[in-house]
Amino acid sequence: MKVSFDADMNDMVDVTMRTIGKKNAKYYSDLAVIAVGSGGLFGLIGYFIFSQSWVAAVIGFAFGAIYTVAYNYNLRERRVRKFIQERQLIKGPALHVEVEISEAGLSFTQSGVTTIREWSTIKSISETDDAIYFGSSSDSFGAVRKRAFASDAEKDEFLNLSRGYMERASLPSPPTFPPIG
C-alpha cells in the first residue's frame, strides 16, 4: 500500500524533535543546573555591587535564572529549523514524501532517496491527531501525515496492515529440526 503527502517545515521539525525527544530529561536537568549557576553568578554580582544587599542578590539571582531559561526556550527547535533552512532540505514550500508498506518493510521516498526500514526494526506505531509515527530500534521516527489518506477507512487499513507486519516480524521463527534417519 502506497500513500504520499507534502511535508512542510513544521513536519520536518516535528519528526526531528520526536527523534531527539528521548534526550529531554538530560537537556532539562542541564538547563536547570545552568540556570541556577547563572542566577547564582548574577546574585553574587548584585550582592557585591549594591553594598552587600540581599535584595539585590535575590533580584540578580532571579534575573540570571529567568534570562537563561528564556534564552534557551525552544532553542533546539530553532536550531533544527535553521539547519533545515541552511541545508535547503526543503526546496520550495514543501517536500513530496511517498510512503509504502509491504512485507519487506516500511519505505520512505523523498528527494529521490528511498529509505527502507525492515519491520523487525520498527518498535512502535502511534497515532496522533495529525500523523502516524513509526518508532524504530535506533530511537528515530518516521511519520505519515493523515492528509496522505483519502479517507479514515484508508488510514485504518494502512494502520492495520502496518501493525500486522510489525507483529509478524516480532514473532520468533519456528524451530527447525534435523531430518530423522
pLDDT for 52 beyond 80: yes
CA torsion sign for 42, 44, 50, 56 is: positive
Of the candidates 126, 109, 129, the one whose C-alpha atom is nearest the C-alpha of residue 4 is 109
Phi, psi (degrees; rounded to nearest 5) at 4: -145, 155
Query: Whole-number mean pLDDT of the chain?
Result: 87
Average pLDDT over residues 12-21: 83
Residue that is last in its domain, among 41, 67, 85 = 85
pLDDT (0 to 100) of residue 89: 65
pLDDT for 25 beyond 80: no
Q: Cell triple for residue 25?
A: 530529561
Residue pair 125/163 in contact (Cβ under 8 Å)? The answer is: yes
Residue that is last in its domain, among 28, 56, 85 = 85
Co-location of 149 and 119 in the same domain: yes
Window from 7-11, 18-22, 81-85 with minimum mean pLDDT: 18-22
pLDDT, one tens digit per residue, over 95-150 is: 889 999 999 999 999 888 899 999 999 999 999 999 999 998 888 899 999 999 99
* Cα within 13 Å of Cα(157), Cβ side: 12
Cβ-based neighbour number of residue 65 at 10 Å: 20
- How remote is the C-alpha of 51 from its chain's centroid? 49
Cα 154 from Cα 5, distance rounded (Å):
14
Q: What's the domain range around 127?
A: 2-9+92-170
**Model pTM score:** 0.71
Residue pair 4/25 in contact (Cβ under 8 Å)? The answer is: no
Residue that is last in its domain, among 30, 54, 85 = 85
Window from 25-34, 95-104, 107-116, 160-169 with minimum mean pLDDT: 25-34
Tally of structural domains, the chain: 2
pLDDT (0 to 100) of residue 179: 81
pLDDT, one tens digit per residue, over 75-101 is: 888 888 888 877 766 667 778 899 999
Query: Which CATH number goes with the domain that contains 160?
Result: 2.30.29.30
Q: Cell triple for residue 56?
A: 539585590
Co-location of 38 and 108 in the same domain: no
Co-location of 76 and 132 in the same domain: no
Cα 93 from Cα 157, distance rounded (Å):
29
